[in-house]
Amino acid sequence: MPDKWALLRDLTTGAEAFGLGHRTLSVLKALLTFWPERELPDAPESAIVFPSNRVLAERLSGMPESTLRRHLAKLVETGIVSRHDSPNCKRYARGQSGSIGIAFGFDLSPLARHASALASAAESVTAQRERIAVLRARLGMLRHRLTEDGAADVLIDAARLMLRRRASEQDLTELVSRLEAALPAPETVEPKPGPVAETTKMSASAARNERHIQETDNSISDSESAMTSEALPAESVGSAEKVAAITVPMITEACREYQAFFPDQPRGWHDLIAMSHRLAPMLGIDPPVLHEAQRIMGAERAAATVLCLLERASEIRKPGAYLRRLTQVARKGSFSVSAMLAAAGRRAAMPAFA
């Protein structure tokens, strides 16, 4: 029998495919809390819950009954739940030998019967979101390159407007193709040999300048500068860190705050990345910032970084700016997710004081 919370998670991910909003999903979640077992049977009329509208409204923090009835009707209309009404349309159960003999209310078994369709919809939506994230990141990169070249003003403006709205995958693909076609052909420059001594001198000067820029970089926001050295990964780690060295259990052991929003453990990178997509807006991280982090760091490392930022949400005034700064560090090959996880793990192990 499928896990009821796993079914809800898949339905939440693929909610758009079923035409469901977050408030309707909240009503379904409340209904699931009345089923005592974690596993949900799929036999017809085998998972009936019978809370009254008043009790349901209380569990939904006082949702108006008119609104509640509308969302219940939506769940029945989409086939996620079904009604098993009594002759007088009341919800109740009759006991028999210490167990429930017959019950009238909402049957949750259709949700279990749709398990494969829900998983397929969730996988499809996640894959599409990842493709759109890559397209948006590429569109931003192409716009930046065209801006530097000072050409194709109309395309640059079109890219700016599209990045500010929710665009379809087809629209993004078409505009990316147009921007790629507008890029000027790269110029071939023949290298000119120079004196060895002069080359060495220039290299040393550039290194000094680079160190000076790194030490005096003031682009980090006031929220970032308020963080301790423990929160910002050491730049001496280098770019040798691999995703394979970071595991999902390692992340969930160090980061606990996500459980307030997602009580179930992620089953793998697929779940963790989907989780980061939903947590980022809650932290005030704009989609372009997250997409750029995924492009530079990789989807897995970016997801781990978002969970680490959630751990210190009360201390970071501007998580979006902070993630942007970490992305800049990652672009130089000097970002370490392992260092952030180690710091989060040490905080999680510290005893809580009243």
Distance CA 164, CA 171 (A): 13
Would the CA dihedral through 163, 169, 175, 178 be positive or negative?
Answer: positive
Residue type, 348: A
The CA distance from 134 to 292, in Å, is 9
Confidence of residue 193 (pLDDT cuts 50, 70, 90): low
- When pLDDT is averaged across residues 160-187 and rounded to a whole number, the result is 83
Q: Do 310 and 209 meet the contact criterion of CB atoms below 8 Å apart?
A: no
Q: Is the pLDDT of residue 28 over 90?
A: yes
- Structural domains of the chain ordered from first start: 4-113 (1.10.10.10), 124-181 (no CATH), 226-348 (no CATH)
Token pair for residue 228? 């301790």
Helices (H), 41-114: 53-59, 65-78, 109-113
pTM > 0.85: no
Angle, CA of 242, 261 and 318, to the nearest 5°: 65
Range with the poorest average pLDDT among 4-13, 48-57, 96-105, 184-193: 184-193
Cα separation, 105 vs 83, in Å, equals 6
Most confident of 96-110, 195-209, 308-322: 308-322
Q: What are the two backbone dihedrals, phi and then psi, of residue 97, each rounded to the nearest 5 degrees? A: 55, 45
pLDDT at 100 > cutoff 70: no
Query: CA 350, CA 231: separation in Å to the nearest integer?
Result: 15
Q: How far apart are the C-alpha atoms of 92 and 76, rounded to whole Å?
A: 18
Q: Is the pLDDT of residue 126 over 60?
A: yes
From CA 347, how far away is CA 341, in angstroms rounded? 10
What pLDDT is stored for residue 207 in this prediction? 40
pLDDT band at 70 (very low <50, low <70, confident <90, very high): very high
Which of 247, 324, 251, 246 lies closest to 283 in space, CA to CA?
324
Nearest to 53 by CA among 62, 63, 65, 36: 65
Q: What is the mean pLDDT of residues 43-58?
A: 86
3-state helix, strand, coil in the chain (%, to 5): 60, 5, 30
